[in-house]
Amino acid sequence: MNFAVVQDLDSKQRNWLAEVMVGIITIDGKVDDTELPYLQKAMELAESRELKEKLLSVARLEKKVRVHSIQLDGELAFEMLKLLAGIMIVDGRLLPSEINFFYEVGHRLGLPDKALEKLWKTARREMEDRCPRAVARLGEEARVIALQQINLERATFRYHRPVVKGAHGSLSLQQFPDADPDIEKDWYSSLSGRVISTHQHVKDSKSFLLRFEFTQTLRDDHGLLQLLGISNREKGK
């Protein structure tokens, strides 16, 4: 993430950036450990004690950031939004509240929706590139997807179409980073489950977020325990 853009900001602009950084970190109602370095960076940008105290209240989830307009040239505004888009995905999640906040900031800077869409979708692709992969089998279809969230009970992933609640299917987790969809041994044994919810992705009418609940007893050859770094003994606790 490139913080070089900060060098070109005056005092007012630095304070504004500090506020929107804390805003996008906290808009989902929590501060993840991976977001703490960026929270610290925002505090360093804030140039008054009053603003630092205000941002600490936001970080403690006692207040919310109210985004206000500021004058920036187009190139600088674009670079600042690239920075915010990067911060938005550091926790490995991309929630509707974060995308909506990102658009609010972009509109305050005067950027068109087309530019904002390109920025957040690029960030989403970068986030998904870091996510573990699985082959999702739903109906007659088999498709490689990125697992945005996963635990012992369920997984969340983006899909290209809505799937009816209760639909049964399976996930096969990748064994290797460069797993080939056409090579069966590159993937763990399929883990059966069912779709428990489908929601259209905010700002993207062609994407849907599916929550998939596992219905099968976990085995080592499913790969989930390995992915989560959990031993069978720990699972049984």
Cα separation, 175 vs 178, whole angstroms: 9
Q: Are 15 and 103 contained in the same domain?
A: yes
What does the alpha-carbon distance between residue 170 and residue 156 come to, in Å, rounded to a whole number?
A: 13
pLDDT at 153: 97
Predicted local distance difference test score (pLDDT) of residue 105 = 97
pTM (two decimals): 0.88
- Looking at the structure, do residues 10 and 124 belong to the same domain, yes or no? yes
Q: Are residues 104 and 174 in the same domain?
A: no
Q: Are residues 150 and 190 in the same domain?
A: yes
Residue 6 has a pLDDT of 84
Residues 122, 165 share a domain? no
- Residues 146 and 57 placed together within one structural domain of the fold: no
Chosen domain end from 114, 129, 144:
129
If one counts the domains in the chain, the total is 2
What is the phi/psi pair of residue 162, to 5°? Answer: -75, 150
Same domain, 98 and 9: yes
Structural domain span for residue 228: 133-235
Same domain, 140 and 170: yes
Single-letter code of the amino acid located at 216: Q
* Domain match, 125 and 150 both: no
**CA distance from start to end of the chain:** 39
Q: Are residues 11 and 34 in the same domain?
A: yes
| Locus of tokens 């600088």 | 76
In this structure, the answer to whether residues 88 and 169 fall within a common structural domain is: no
- Gap between the Cα atoms of 83 and 202, Å rounded: 21
pLDDT in tens for each of the 237 residues of the chain? 668 878 888 999 999 999 999 999 999 999 999 999 999 999 999 999 999 999 999 999 998 999 999 988 888 999 999 999 999 999 998 999 999 999 999 999 999 999 999 999 999 999 999 999 999 999 999 999 999 999 999 999 999 999 999 999 999 999 998 999 899 999 999 999 999 999 999 999 999 999 999 999 999 999 999 999 986 555 555
Q: Are residues 140 and 106 both part of a single domain?
A: no
Predicted pLDDT at 226: 94
Would you give the distance in Å from CA 42 to the centre of its chain? Answer: 20
| Domain CATH for 204 | 2.40.10.220
Q: Which of 67, 98, 129 is the last residue of a domain?
A: 129
Collapsing DSSP to helix, strand or coil, 227 comes out as helix
For residue 231, the model assigns a pLDDT of 63
**Last residue of one domain, picked from the residues 83, 99, 129:** 129
Residue 234 is predicted with a pLDDT of 55
